[in-house]
Structure 1
Amino acid sequence: MILYPAIDLKDGACVRLRQGEMDRATVFSDDPGKTAAGFLALGFRRLHVVDLNGAFAGESRNGAAVDAILAATTVPVQLGGGIRTMAHIESWLERGIARVILGTAAAKDPELVKTACRAFPGRIVVGIDARDGKVAVAGWADATELSARDLALNYEDAGVAAIVHTDIGRDGMLTGLNLAETVAIATAVSTPVIASGGFSGMDDIARLAAPEAAILDGAILGRALYDGRVDAAAALATLPQPEVV
């Protein structure tokens, strides 16, 4: 079970949103590189980074902050937010990102995702952000009628490295991961699935260690890690991290 500390970037700073609303941002650090290095020092072996401004703009807006994270770390970094063309994908992979996350593109441009999977095997992640089970795109601003499960199934044979399933209604709210929905998606597909949205604290660590969650590939920690609700040492002792290959 891989634990991914989340670094969400807004205007160059590390922030956490509530339910994806940009005007409900809490700034935790103005030094993304230092934040990333701090997570490595705690023992985490991978990082999850989102360019929030990019998600709304449709192109990178926090490139300097992402570069600072890459310069400060030696572990794989996966990045999402505004990556919607092959040029965007190629640029980030060349700059050192291990895996790119395609969210809006996954819902609106499936051919791009499939082409990218063929060109960069093992390096393309699909981000499925859902509110009440329905996919939302463009920084969660636009709702669709597509179900999260159906979107996951659309990429069953595409060669996607992983799926990140985020429950928007829980994101940043500290109400607990939506494991039931995420496990249901993981059961429906063969692609590794990562849980995101609502991580509340050590209770969620215990839930992830339970047998019913073993089907999941990992989980993303956000606000609960930043404000101390998750004890990193205890979490990593409960869920030892695989070494980076």
Structure 2
Amino acid sequence: MLIIPAVDLRAGKCVRLVEGRLDRETVYSDDPVAVARLWEDQGARMLHVVDLDGAFTGSPKNWDIIRGILTAVRIPVQVGGGIRDMDVIDKLLGMGAARVVLGTVAIINPGLVVEACNRYGEAIAVGIDARNGKVAIEGWGVTAEKNTLELAAEMKNLGVVRVVFTDIWRDGTLQGPNLAAVEEVARATGLKIIASGGVSCAADLRALKKLEPLGVEAVIMGKSLYAGTITLREALIIGQEEAGVQVC
């Protein structure tokens, strides 16, 4: 299972939010590029970069930092946050992003998802952000009248093969992932799943790892790494464990 550290950008800084709320923000670094290098140096094989300003406003705002991260690291980087037109997708992938994550646009303009998948294949993923089973959009500020399973099935029909599934109530809380919801999406859709939200410890990772046969291929880790409840080295070891074999 791939372990993907998150680098969330807001106002040029590396931050973490709790439940996506701006009033519950913690700033971890004034130098997100250095943070990205740190995770690479510690063994990360991929990074998840989110432009939170972009997610809230509808278009990416931290271009210079994103470009700096893409230039500074050698590992693949997936980028999300405010990506709502093809020009932005083209620009990010042209800058060297390995994958872009579409969110709000999957609800408001599914035709763009089709166009992007046709042009870029698996370099396109869709973020499905769940709040009480419904899909949240526009920086999680608006709850759409569509449930997560409906959106996942629609995205698969449009050509999407991979989704980033986040339980908003768990995000940044260190309360453990919503395993039931992750499993439900995986079983119902057959999509490749990147799980996000709530991971706090080795037990959480091992619980997610049991879902690998269902298509849960990766987990995004944020607060747990920044708060030190688990180290990246520990997480990477668990990610590489064989089924049924725990490495001390």
Task: Check whether TM > 0.5.
Answer: yes
CA distance in 1, matches of 2:43, 2:132: 34
> How much does 1:213 deviate?
4.5
Aligned length: 240
63-72 or 12-21, which deviates more = 63-72
Query: Residue 121 of structure 2: SS of its match in structure 1?
Result: coil
Which amino acid in the other structure matches residue 193 of structure 1? Answer: I
Match in the other structure for 1:10: 10
Match in the other structure for 2:230: 230
Query: Residue 144 of structure 2: SS of its match in structure 1?
Result: strand
Indicate conservation of the 8 Å contact 1:183/1:213, yes or no.
no
Query: Residue 157 of structure 2: SS of its match in structure 1?
Result: coil
Indicate conservation of the 8 Å contact 1:49/1:79, yes or no.
yes
Match in the other structure for 2:136: 136
Matched ranges for 1:70-219 at <5 A: 70-210=70-210, 212-215=211-214, 216-219=216-219
After TM superposition, the score normalised by the length of structure 1 is: 0.95
Which amino acid in the other structure matches residue 208 of structure 2? Answer: L
Structure 2 stretches lacking a partner, 5+ long: 242-248
Residues 54-81 of structure 1 deviation map (CA, whole Å, 9 limit, x = unaligned): 0011111111111111121011111110
Match in the other structure for 1:56: 56
Query: Residue 160 of structure 1: SS of its match in structure 2?
Result: coil
CA distance in 2, matches of 1:125, 1:213: 18
Structure 1 stretches lacking a partner, 5+ long: none
Aligned sequence identity (%): 45
Indicate conservation of the 8 Å contact 2:202/2:238, yes or no.
no
Q: CA RMSD in A?
A: 1.3
Match in the other structure for 1:33: 33
> How much does 1:182 deviate?
0.8
Indicate conservation of the 8 Å contact 1:179/1:195, yes or no.
no
CA distance in 1, matches of 2:92, 2:105: 16
Query: Residue 67 of structure 2: SS of its match in structure 1?
Result: helix
Which amino acid in the other structure matches residue 190 of structure 1? Answer: G
Residues 66-109 of structure 1 deviation map (CA, whole Å, 9 limit, x = unaligned): 11111210111111100000111111111111111100001111
> How much does 1:159 deviate?
2.5
Which amino acid in the other structure matches residue 230 of structure 1? Answer: I
